[in-house]
Amino acid sequence: MEKRTLGTSGLEVSAIGLGCMGMSHGLGPAGDHDEMVAVIRGAVERGVTFFDTAEVYGPWTNERLVGAALAPVRDDVVIATKFGFAIDADGRQHPGVSSRPEHITEVADASLGRLGIDTIDLFYQHRVDPDVPIEEVAGAVGELVAAGKVRHFGLSEAGAGTIRRAHAVHPVTALQSEYSLWWREPEQSVLPTLAELGIGFVPFSPLGKGFLTGAIDAGTSFAEGDIRGTIPRFTAEAREANQALVDRIGIIAAGMDATPAQVALAWLLAQQPWIVPIPGTTRSARVEENVGAADLALTPADLAEIDAAAAQVRVVGERYPEAMQALIDR
């Protein structure tokens, strides 16, 4: 698969990564361990070299899964994980966030152990902590880099001002935030800031948590533990209204002999050469479909058609419940 470099950092990864969260957390019951290992290793065979996890996914179980799956190919892949939430010794997540420097160090050591690796390739702050200056966070990660425990520093859901302040203390390699054809807010101030500073962008939920694939409609029921059941954008009424966007993408995809998911991912890849989406899945067939997007070259005319189609639809519903929305840094 085509490789891309995240900004000017020198960190090279596959053009399409794999978000592993849903294998253990957030989208209903966790997948069977052996089956999920097979999905991850199948992704490697298809050219994926960039894998995303976090301590809070589970908590902890997803890091163990990713570490076990990638152990045979550790030197050939890039593993990203995250710190920033408060989790007690029994694995219970507490409300709010925590990025105290001593906590960051504790999480790094624990994540290294769960992943079974010597160095974390990319260590993101999962959510900005309003009670800890971002300069202290960047300094703490910088110390981990100096100690050889971390290679690169990343941020997630951070605003332009926070990105600048962090980058002034320690280079930020990548920002991870939601970005897709139905959530384009990063275009306003975040993407220009990343371009200016030479920082890569890793869109999560690049397929709208599955909605842009066309596999979800107003009649879909979500399993217990699936966060989409709590998200305003996924109410039955919102899904019915938002279906118009999927229908338009589907028409365009049919004309390209592609799937809606491939068009949505190819559109992201065409925005900037330093953008690397990380669609998540628990199915090898979806991995193969998503990887195929890297071979779908969109012309300027194609991109104009997609943008025009998207502009005709007003997306209904917030992307997070109120409590989660409050954690987003502006």
Catalytic residues: 57
> What would the two tokens of residue 285 be?
């067939």
Selection from 263, 259, 153, 160 nearest residue 206 by Cα: 263
> What would the two tokens of residue 235 be?
């109410």
323 class by beta-carbon count within 10 Å (0-12 exposed, 13-18 middle, 19+ buried): exposed
CB 2 within 8 A of CB 15: yes
Selection from 64, 70, 31 nearest residue 49 by Cα: 70
DSSP structure string for 114-161: HHT-SSEEEEEESS--TTS-HHHHHHHHHHHHHTTSEEEEEEES--HH
Query: How far apart are the C-alpha atoms of 156 and 206, rounded to whole Å?
Result: 14
Query: How far apart are the C-alpha atoms of 238 and 299, rounded to whole Å?
Result: 31
276 contacts: CB under 8 Å, gap ≥ 6: 4, 6, 13, 14, 15, 16, 17, 50, 200, 201, 202, 203
Q: Could you give phi then psi for residue 175, rounded to 5 degrees?
A: -110, 135
